[in-house]
Amino acid sequence: MKINTINKEEIEKFSKIAEEWWDPTGKFKPLHKFNPIRISYIKENILSTFNIKRKEKILKGIKILDIGCGGGLLSEPMARLGADVVGIDASNKNVNVAKLHAKKNDLKIKYFCTSPENFKTDIKFDVILNMEIIEHVDDVNLFLKSSSKLLKKNGIMFIATLNKTLKSYLFAIVGAEYVLRWLPIGTHEWEKFVKPEQLIDITKTCNLNLDDLKGFKFNLISDEWKISNDKSVNYIAKFIKN
């Protein structure tokens, strides 16, 4: 029986470019462009679900676990909004980059080099972020089951990933990696992409109920990402733990 979701090849791939996490013009440029819409969607859904009305440090007291946190591109904005943030990543290099950057910016984020199934903690989190990570793990079922165990009852899990369609192959791999060179070649494997209905089936076995499902679409003219009903390439799902 498999008790590990870590894919060593995927970890090595991202470890090699770990120093570039915070360079908005480097290899993670697409994530920097993607970040504002992700932050907006996550923030608005946390506020509405937990009925938060305060104006400053709006996420104060909310415990967030950022799984596959990389260099901290999402962990830091969540901490700036007042949340208590823990980030985990299976790449030691990523974790070291994230720790250094948080320290430089005087942000009290706790980072650990681990995976959800190996993460030892007594804390149950209000929110779990699984953003652009499930397409890089070895066993999605085990990964999400392990993630769900770390979530409080009525807590939120956000999962963003890539749909398994011909369009996603053409856009996310051929277009983004080979034509536009937005991403290093080999960043994604189409076989690992997950259809929304497949994701929903898996999450049902993890006591997670779908609450919202949206697509992300890139507008070449405005050079920015927008929330969309088109889920054929990038999409985000919000689940509530029952």
Distance CA 162, CA 62 (A): 27
Mean per-residue pLDDT of the chain: 92
Mean pLDDT throughout 52-71?
Answer: 95
Distance CA 169, CA 20 (A): 25
Q: What is the pTM of this model?
A: 0.93
User: What residue spans define the domains of the chain?
Assistant: 8-241
Task: Return the higher-pLDDT residue of 4 and 239.
Answer: 239
Phi, psi dihedrals of residue 107, rounded to the nearest 5°: -110, 130
Instruction: Assign 197 a pLDDT band (cuts: 50, 70, 90).
Output: very high
Mean pLDDT throughout 95-110?
Answer: 97
Q: What is the pLDDT of residues 159-196, one digit of tens each?
A: 999 999 998 888 777 766 666 666 677 777 888 899 99
Instruction: Assign 156 a pLDDT band (cuts: 50, 70, 90).
Output: very high
Domain 8-241 coded CATH 1.20.58.1290? no
Residues, the chain: 242
Mean pLDDT throughout 84-95?
Answer: 96
Distance CA 103, CA 240 (A): 32
pLDDT of residue 1: 44
pLDDT of residue 178: 62
pLDDT of residue 27: 83
Distance CA 27, CA 18 (A): 9
Q: What is the pLDDT of residues 131-153, one digit of tens each?
A: 999 999 999 999 999 999 999 99
- Say if residues 133 and 91 touch (Cβ distance below 8 Å): no
pLDDT of residue 23: 94
Secondary structure of 9-61 in HEC code, one letter for each residue: HHHHHHHCCHHHCCCCCCCCHHHHHHHHHHHHHHHHHHHHHCCCCCCCCCCCC
| pLDDT > 60? residue 89 | yes
Distance CA 69, CA 66 (A): 5
Q: What is the pLDDT of residues 1-19, one digit of tens each?
A: 456 888 888 888 888 888 8
Mean pLDDT throughout 103-124?
Answer: 97
| Strands annotated E in the chain | 63-67, 84-89, 110-113, 125-131, 151-162, 208-219, 224-228, 234-241
